[in-house]
Structure 1
Amino acid sequence: MHKSTSSRRPNIGRTPLIACLVAGVIAAGGLALTDTRVYGSPAAPAGSDISAATSRAAGRWQQTPVPVAKGDLTAVAALSGTQAWAVGYRLKSATEPEALALRWNGTAWARESTLPRDTFPQALAVRSPRDIWAVGATAAHWDGRSWTTRNLDRDPAGPVLPDAVATTSDGKVWTAGRAVQESAKNAVPAIQTWDGSAWRRQALPKVGKGELTGLAALAPDDIWAAGTSFGTGTTDQTALLLHWDGTSWKRVAAPAGKSGEDRWAGGITALASHDIWAVGGATSGGVERPYAAHWDGTKWTEATTPDIADGRLRAVGRSGDGTLWAVGGKGAVSVALRWDSRRHCWEKTADPRVVVRGFSTVPHSADLWTVGIAKQGDLVPTVTRFTGRKG
């Protein structure tokens, strides 16, 4: 089945706004939160019982008021239960968007700042309250007082639209996305890194046309990128998984699908060098469903997911109590899955009740955040919070 563009994105966000997410552009990824971990909190101790954590994760999703009446929220990242940030835009008029950042203080969301004009932030990485990166139409850095635009490196394949961002312990910042010359169907995967003074384009293996929508960094020499390799007239669309070993990026084979089945990865999280999860979607016969795969240090293996129509997954991460989560959806469908390690499958949980653009776990907590737009209404920015509790 030929598909020249990723099925990952709903048609809201960067595309309709300029004509979503990149989320609308998102992803990721990451969904995402991106790891940056922008999805994800510290990994649970080795040998922890994820099933036990799952059984304790009793809670519910609840909408949290935001100080934006119309627009879109595209990414969220949390440092703690009292420190979280979300980015997106508000519509000042029907044709005038304003990029902005919100901050959670433990009690409420408030507008903290506006981003440079035409930023269209889609992914977020937070090292500290004074060291935040947002990427979208370009990259911008927050130093605690103001945002500074940091233009991306030129790419011969066209303007770069990053969909994910992650930081590493050596001070570098990484973005992943696509370079687009004329149209989305001609996009090629693109990765760049900030070395402290400028963004530098990275050499990638020849993977053809496609895009990257998720990033997860374990160490400066252990980084994963996830996305999509577009199909052609004779080949199906496949999940695209790349690994950085400190020297070069290499493609790692994703689990093969059935003939005629298109697959894509939307988000990725790295828990350990032998414990990586990528999530996305698969479509066959015109019906989409969730897709998830796991890296055990040697190979990627497909994991069992519930059969949910329009249940594409956008992001994945592990909460502070050890529970592994994946979220996503399409249109009016939103979905949250939880990993059951005893049954070795993903199980459906309570509906996040938002058109999911971004997701974040909360370090040292069982709580989760999702951001996006409401399922009803016209571009109503929405934040929902899952308050987990131990029984």
Structure 2
Amino acid sequence: MTNTNTSSRHRRVRRRPLLASLAAGAIATGSLVVANAWAGPASDTGEAPAAAARAGQWTTTPTPVEKGDLTAVAALDDKQAWAVGYRLKDSTNIKNEAVALRWDGTSWKQESTLPADSFPQALAVKSADDIWTVGASSAHWDGTAWTARAFDRDPGGRLTPDAVAIASDGKAWAVGRAVPQGIKNGVPAVQAWDGSAWRRQALPDVGKGELTSLAVVAPDDIWAAGSSFAGADTEQTALLLHFDGTSWTRMEAPGGKQGEHRWFAGITAVSADEVWAVGGSVTGSSERPFAARWDGRKWTAVSTPDVPDGRLRAAGRSGDNALWAVGGKGSVSVALRWDATQRRFEQAPDPSLVIRGLATVPGTADLWTVGIAKKGDLIPAAARFKG
């Protein structure tokens, strides 16, 4: 499934859960990486209020995890969805259990636990017996059990993936960054599963940066998005790479004005000539949504509402042809919907939770988001939009 789900002196959109940060020293959600400094954002927790269960509104759905974090979600249809995350078992000693939940059309139930220390961050579902999750490592579900799969060795450092997707030919792809010592020294990284092992992919030299999201149009038409990190005298810039079946090429992303930092955190492909990337931008202390569209020839920035702290982290097109982008920071959660007539994103009802991941539900106008509630102490949350 396409990741829609999944980057200081400023901040940077990341999708590291708090539990993974505590247990493995991973980076918490943020937005801007400066090559010589990074500081995580303020965090917020809370309980999402239950919305009315009717069309056009979000409804919170109970999960079987009382304390923890849900980091990614994917759906096959109205009665089959999966979410991965963590159950906090011992907050004093920072012990957690990676879990996979399944939606059966009525409720969320725990289907399984994942291999130890897997710290799942992203999820791709091709079928009920072909599921990949990546994080501190990767694991594959064959319908019966999870099998851990080691990533290929990368000379750039330890691979930290943020997104995974499965192409129509069954090949899985993972993107993120290779980190030699610290996040500020990371470089974009891509690996592909060849049926027996993960293989590192050659990329153009784009300097320090990361890839945060992945979208597959076809086996020979794949997009990866993220950012090139800021330096002492340079702004952070949005990064786009394209795979044509043979090699990866850097594509020109819309640039910002002087002093403006931009990044992508999510990408979704509708067709070969309609791909959307979303993220955020920072000018001074002002942070707002940023989005761009590929029309088959070039990438163009599109209009977004000026939502303070409205960073976007995922996008997807629902079954009623509506394009959505979601995100937020701390107490701010935001959902945008594309207005094709006005040619701009407009604010839409949001799920009122700290959003980690988004999934569209094929064949319907419905959406899923997962994360943690805004109130309370690490309360996992899942919300469904009935379109």
Matched, 1:337 2:336: yes
Tell me how far apart the structure 1 counterparts of residues 28 and 141 of structure 2 sit (CA, whole Å).
Answer: 20
The answer to whether the 8 Å contact 2:10/2:282 transfers is: no
Tell me how far apart the structure 1 counterparts of residues 140 and 12 of structure 2 sit (CA, whole Å).
Answer: 28
**Structure 1 letter corresponding to 2:124:** A
Give 1:9 shift: 4.7
Q: Which blocks of at least 5 consecutive residues in structure 1 are unaligned?
A: 25-56
The answer to whether the 8 Å contact 1:20/1:357 transfers is: no
Give 1:13 shift: 4.4
What is the aligned-residue RMSD (CA, Å)?
Answer: 1.7
In the superposition, the TM-score normalised over structure 2's length comes to 0.89
Matched, 1:89 2:86: yes
Give per-residue Cα distances to partners, 1:280-314, cap 9 Å, x unaligned.
Answer: 00011111100000001111000000000110000
CA 161–199 in structure 1, closer or farther in 2 if over 3 Å, else same:
same
Give per-residue Cα distances to partners, 1:99-120, cap 9 Å, x unaligned.
Answer: 0000000000000000000000
CA 344–22 in structure 1, closer or farther in 2 if over 3 Å, else same:
same
CA 7–78 in structure 1, closer or farther in 2 if over 3 Å, else same:
closer
The answer to whether the 8 Å contact 1:160/1:179 transfers is: yes
CA 21–84 in structure 1, closer or farther in 2 if over 3 Å, else same:
farther
Tell me how far apart the structure 2 counterparts of residues 286 and 179 of structure 1 sit (CA, whole Å).
Answer: 29
Show the counterpart of 2:229: 230
Tell me how far apart the structure 1 counterparts of residues 342 and 291 of structure 2 sit (CA, whole Å).
Answer: 15
Q: Which blocks of at least 5 consecutive residues in structure 2 are unaligned?
A: 1-7, 31-53
Tell me how far apart the structure 1 counterparts of residues 352 and 9 of structure 2 sit (CA, whole Å).
Answer: 29
Tell me how far apart the structure 2 counterparts of residues 96 and 14 of structure 1 sit (CA, whole Å).
Answer: 10
In the superposition, the TM-score normalised over structure 1's length comes to 0.88
Tell me how far apart the structure 1 counterparts of residues 16 and 165 of structure 2 sit (CA, whole Å).
Answer: 23
Give per-residue Cα distances to partners, 1:129-160, cap 9 Å, x unaligned.
Answer: 11100000011000011000010000011110
Tell me how far apart the structure 2 counterparts of residues 100 and 376 of structure 1 sit (CA, whole Å).
Answer: 22
The answer to whether the 8 Å contact 1:194/1:200 transfers is: yes
Question: What is the DSSP-based 3-state SS (H/G/I as helix, E as strand, rest coil) of the residue aligned with 1:247?
Answer: coil
Show the counterpart of 1:54: none
Aligned residues: 355
Show the counterpart of 1:73: 70
Tell me how far apart the structure 1 counterparts of residues 292 and 119 of structure 2 sit (CA, whole Å).
Answer: 30
Show the counterpart of 1:357: 356
Show the counterpart of 2:103: 104
Matched, 1:18 2:24: yes
Tell me how far apart the structure 2 counterparts of residues 5 and 218 of structure 1 sit (CA, whole Å).
Answer: 30
1:6 to 12, 34, 51: 12
Show the counterpart of 1:28: none
Give per-residue Cα distances to partners, 1:316-372, cap 9 Å, x unaligned.
Answer: 000011000000001111000000010000000112111000100000001100000
CA 272–138 in structure 1, closer or farther in 2 if over 3 Å, else same:
same
Question: What is the DSSP-based 3-state SS (H/G/I as helix, E as strand, rest coil) of the residue aligned with 1:16?
Answer: helix
Matched, 1:288 2:287: yes
